[in-house]
Amino acid sequence: DVIDVRDLLAEGFFTYDPGFVATAACESGITYIDGGEGVLLHRGYPIAQLANNSNFVELSYLLLFGELPSKEEYVNFEKTIRNHTMVHEQLANFFKGFRRDAHPMAILCGVVGGLAAFYHDNLDITKEEERRVSAIRLIAKMPTLAAMCHKYNIGQPFNYPRNDLNYAENFLYMMFGNPCEEYKINPVFAKAMDRIFMLHADHEQNASTSTVRLAGSTGANPFACISAGIAALWGPAHGGANEAVLNMLDEIGDDSEENIQRFVDRAKDKDDPFRLMGFGHRVYRNFDPRAKVMKETCDQVLGELGMADDPQLKIAKRLEQIALEDDYFIERQLYPNVDFYSGIILKAIGVPANMFTVVFAVSRTIGWISHWNEMISTGYRIGRPRQLYTGHTQRDYPEKN
Ligand code: ACO
């Protein structure tokens, strides 16, 4: 049942809902989640069908425009994205201001926000065509900027995008290619990367998407709004979980029963801040359908690489088994989420752990900008949450001697 509190405002009705567990802040036709049944639909299509039959660029078109593209529409859309992959040469200077060892998410927040400086003065967000071009610029430039963050960290020259490669291949090339040797695209890696992009593309009003909407509701520049989304994504309770999962698996160390049980017990102990990273979700109270596809992809990639015995994969699988049989996790309906297995795949591809959340940001950009576009095109009010004031009542400023 939905109560529209706008009808009750005149009667002085006021809701208090920390964490927005029962409050819809908008209407949206992009993504549907049924947390109880473990259902995730993008524009009506189940995520598993999309992951098995589509690709990230086609999914981006679907999320942004509402329908799957015709063959011709797909070709034009993909070509337009390829044509926008370069970033302004001056943007390279932004990177030089950061410490070499800066976290790539910190750099990404800065440089994506910096895009606003290149596309601000002439941008009229009330015009559909200008919103479309902004969206395409973002989808196209995110892999370039993300790879630049990595190259800056490791002290290698930036790679210009190669427009003969597809979206995922180009990202891999910009991440791992270097001028000293030819970089050969591994098709298994490219497919897995595309799937990771797809599985993270959108998830309705999560913390980062809500942040983008809130920032956008003031009429702010879309590139700056996306930078706000990147900041929200960074936290370990959200996009930072994939990096945290791998750190946790490292900390666990081996897949012995007693060892894993020790960590499961720690996660249950309310006096210990430790949580099983990659477990639990605000909306899914049954399995996360993305996690299922991610686990299959993980098995596939590691199998094809001859790494089925990977120690971290073994720990992850045993940990999942033990937790899913534990009353604490059963009662609280805590299941592995999308990021429980994504880190293992990214590691197998060669992506360093500090880049995991950056990869997530590349994927989620299409979700963020689709929601921003939907909000701007369908009418909106400035997002302005209220509060329950718990501070002092009025008091007088003390007299000075
Ligand atoms: N390990 C141990 N206990 C947990 C975990 C966990 N991973 N997640 C939730 N719980 C427990 C809570 O302690 C709480 O127990 P209580 O009822 O005894 O107090 C109960 O389950 C409900 O948890 P909440 O924190 O109220 O759930 P909420 O919806 O606020 O949080 C969240 C969801 C942030 C995802 C949480 O499950 C978590 O921190 N998970 C680990 C981090 C993670 O994997 N994040 C990625 C999310 S997916 C994504 O962003 C792509």
Q: Where are the alpha helices (DSSP H) in 28-127?
A: 47-53, 56-65, 71-83, 91-96, 104-118
Complex-level ipTM: 0.95
Active site residue 88: no
In ligand 1, which atom is closest to the CA atom of 200?
Answer: 51
Longest dimension (CA), the chain: 80
Contact of 223 with 112, CB cutoff 8 Å: yes
E strand or H helix that includes residue 98: none
* Catalytic-role residue among 202, 281, 288, 371: 281
Please identify which residue in the block is written with the tokens 């996306």: 226
Least confident of 47-56, 76-85, 118-127, 328-337: 118-127
The CA-CA-CA angle for residues 248, 233, 335, to 5°, reads 50
Per-residue pLDDT tens over the stretch 179-229: 899 999 999 999 999 999 999 999 999 999 999 999 999 999 999 999 999
Q: Does residue 334's CB lie within 6 angstroms of at least one atom of ligand 1?
A: yes
Q: Whose CA is nearest to atom 44 of ligand 1?
A: 278
Say how far apart CA 194 and CA 186 lie, in whole Å: 12
* pLDDT tops 80 at residue 121: no
* Catalytic-role residue among 194, 202, 288, 339: 339
Q: Does residue 337's CB lie within 6 angstroms of at least one atom of ligand 1?
A: yes
**Quick one: pLDDT at residue 252?**
93
Per-residue pLDDT tens over the stretch 6-63: 888 888 888 999 999 999 999 999 999 999 899 999 999 999 999 999 999 999 999 9
Active site residue 339: yes
Say how far apart CA 298 and CA 287 lie, in whole Å: 17
- Provide the percentage of residues in the chain whose pLDDT is more than 70: 100
**Quick one: pLDDT at residue 78?**
97
- Provide the percentage of residues in the chain whose pLDDT is more than 90: 81
Q: Which of 334, 346, 363 to mutate to test the pocket of ligand 1 (most atoms within 8 A of CB)?
A: 334
Q: Does residue 279's CB lie within 6 angstroms of at least one atom of ligand 1?
A: yes
